Structure 1
């Protein structure tokens, strides 16, 4: 019953008109007075900001804020992968032979997530990592590795919450939400970077149209944040075994290495 009520409420609110109203408000100057309260509510470290608080004309501009150049250190390594975002590394684990991953005790289909057999089959038996961004996080996305862009595509029309309630009661949100996928060719194997939209606003804006991604380089940002999922091929990558999951990570922090 609780699950049914949750889904009904989300279906009623997550429509084109509500998305339009929310987007227009946060992108208007009417939202500027809400920035100080947003900072206090989410305890955002203003010392990291590239600009002064008063220089952000809207709440949206603050939400997609950039950081000072020295705010993050890229732990670069040719055989390493780094976190593409600030957020919670919520789950890591194997991709089953049936192309499923387990997140919060629920199975998600990698085939459904990527949309086609020829795209998903490369990741049978591989590894995955799920990075959840809360409203407090820096919402720009960076490349986890050095790589060449093999393909880029988008799937899905609507987005539902990807918080704990959304993962528990939603309809396979990680595989069904609006998502932008970029597949990279690292010298040690392929990596899929799946950028999952959040409730109301299905927008991932690219800032790098190049076919070459450099580790730590900014490539995109969430207009309203959500989740990034990394997929690695079988026997190609291992996450750090010395650190627990879930845990908070910063963009540029090493999360694992390719197996030579």
Structure 2
């Protein structure tokens, strides 16, 4: 029964008109009044802000805020992989032969998520990593490695929550939500960076449209907290053994290494 009511509520509220109204509100000057309480509620570190909190004209501008220069450092050597976001590295594992990844006891289809059996098959036996961004986190996305963009595509319309309830009661949230994929050739293989939209605000904006990505440079942002999934081909990525998942990570922090064999 709880599952039924939860899904019914999401279906009723997660529509184009509700998303439109919420977007209008967070981009209005009225929403700026809520910034101080938002900071307090989520215990956000204002010392990292590029600007004073009062300088943001609305909640949307605050959500996509930049950090002061030097607040994040890019760790590791040339072949190392960094976290593309601030967030929780909530899960990692191996893509199964049936092209699934298991999250919170559920199997998620890589093929459904990517929208292509050909794309999915490239990651069979490879590593997946799931990073959740909370509403309190820095929402900008950076390149986890250096490489050449070989494809970009978007899928999905609505977005279910990607919090614990959303994963438990939602309808294949990570594979069904609005999502935007970027596939990158890093020299010895491919990586796919999947950006999954959050409830209500599906906006995933690119700030870098070029074909060349440099490790650590900004490539886009979420308009609200959401999820990033990284996919690596079999044998091409080695997880940082010091990470004990689940673990909070910062953008630029070392999460693994690309195999050059």
TM-score by structure 1 length?
Answer: 0.98
For residues 47-86 of structure 1, what are the structure 2 equivalents within 5 Å?
47-86=47-86
- Residue 216 of structure 2 corresponds to 216
Q: Any residues of structure 2 matched to 1:126-145 within 5 Å, and which? A: 126-145=126-145
For the residues of structure 1 that align with 2:75 and 2:33, how far apart are their CA atoms? 37
Using the TM superposition, give the Cα deviation of residue 119 of structure 1 relative to its aligned residue in structure 2, in angstroms: 1.2
Matched with 2:42 is 42
Look up the SS of the partner of 2:122 in the other structure: helix
Structure 2 gaps of 5+ residues are none
Q: For 1:87-102, list aligned pairs within 5 A.
A: 87-102=87-102
The separation in 2 between residues aligned to 1:116 and 1:243, in whole angstroms, is: 31
**Residue pairs, 1:196-207, within 5 angstroms:** 196-207=196-207
Helix, strand or coil at the partner of 1:243: coil
Once residues 85 and 95 of structure 1 are traced to their aligned partners in structure 2, the CA distance between those partners, rounded to angstroms, is 22
Task: Describe how 1:1-260 pairs up with structure 2 within 5 A.
Answer: 1-260=1-260
Q: Distance in 2 between matches of 1:116 and 1:259?
A: 25
**Per-residue CA shift, 1:63-112, capped at 9, x if unaligned?**
10000110000114222110000000000000001100011111000000
Are the counterparts in 2 of residues 85 and 140 from structure 1 also a CA contact under 8 Å?
A: yes
Query: Partners of 1:73 and 1:174 in 2: how far apart?
Result: 29
CA contact (8 A) 2:149 2:182 kept: yes
Give the deviation of 1:188 after TM superposition. Answer: 2.5
Check the 8 A contact 2:195/2:229 in 1, yes or no: yes
Query: Quick one: distance in 2 between partners of 1:4 and 1:80?
Result: 44
d(CA) in 2 for partners of 1:259, 1:214:
18
Tell me the number of residue pairs that the alignment of Structure 1 and Structure 2 aligns.
Answer: 260
What is the TM-score normalised by the length of structure 2? Answer: 0.98
Aligned partners of 2:86 and 2:110: how far apart in 1? 23
In 1, are the aligned partners of 2:136 and 2:225 still within 8 Å (CA)?
A: no
2: distance between equivalents of 1:4 and 1:79? Answer: 47
Unaligned runs of 5+ in 1: none
CA contact (8 A) 1:76 1:215 kept: no
Query: Which 10-residue stretch deviates more, 237-246 or 95-104?
Result: 237-246
Please state how far the C-alpha of 1:259 moved relative to its aligned partner. Answer: 2.2
Runs of 4+ in 1 over 6 A off after TM superposition: none
Q: SS in structure 2 opposite 1:123?
A: coil
